[in-house]
Amino acid sequence: MPANTVGERIKQLRDNQNITLEELAERSGVNRELIKKIEEGDILPSLTPLIKISRTLGVRLGTLLDDRVQDEPVIVRRGKTQRVIHFSGYEESADTSNLNFHSLGAGKSDRHMEPFLIDVELHSDDFELSSHEGEEFIYVLEGEIEVIYGQEKYRLGEGDSIYYDSVVPHHLHAAGENDAKILAVVYTPF
């Protein structure tokens, strides 16, 4: 699924509810320029602004990420999915992508969890922490990652996992010399 589908959905929902870009920014607490870039762009920021926007629009996060809705179980064989969303990993930037989310639940109606396989690319930028309601479970499949959680740092390798409250400011990035791959399950209350 092209990343700009998310922006198109936000704009459509905003238009359907007669909410201006400025009103959405004010109500959600997400920068107006960032929302504009999301609506127009091919690359998305971190999940945090999308969660804030979805709550403000009165929809679950999956509504922004789904291509179509189905009632049957969703099956993804061997982690191979065509539904890839490219996130920058940063709340205020949409210029580059270092997180590629492969949705494992897209299309499942009324779900409360968002399961993803995520390719985490190496980068050396400064890390900006973000927070949102909910919980996250991360399992490292390949490589190493570092999770900054509040004032603490946790380095995880293959087979390691971490489960945390997303309301605490956090950031996840590849550590070591290679890219990493993780299984992430994100829960956001609706």
Mean residue pLDDT of the chain comes to: 79
| pLDDT tens, position by position, 93-140 | 444 446 676 677 766 666 778 888 888 888 766 777 888 888 999 999
Report the pLDDT averaged over residues 167-172.
Answer: 91
Determine the pLDDT at residue 70: 52
Domains, the chain, with CATH or none? 4-65 (1.10.260.40), 77-187 (2.60.120.10)
User: Distances from the Cα of 138 to the Cαs of 10, 39, 187, in angstroms?
Assistant: 27, 28, 12
Residues in the chain: 190
Q: Please state the φ and ψ torsions of residue 133, each to the nearest 5 degrees.
A: -65, 150
Distance CA 149, CA 137 (A): 13
Distance CA 81, CA 105 (A): 10
Write out the E strands in the chain: 84-87, 99-103, 113-120, 135-142, 144-149, 152-156, 161-165, 170-175, 180-187
Report the pLDDT averaged over residues 8-23.
Answer: 91
Tokens of 122: 């190496």
Q: Judge if pTM exceeds 0.75.
A: no
Band the pLDDT of 181: cuts 50, 70, 90. very high
Cβ neighbour number for residue 95 with a 10 Å cutoff: 10
Compute the radius of gyration of the chain from its Cα atoms: 16
Q: Is residue 83 over pLDDT 70? A: no
Determine the pLDDT at residue 93: 46
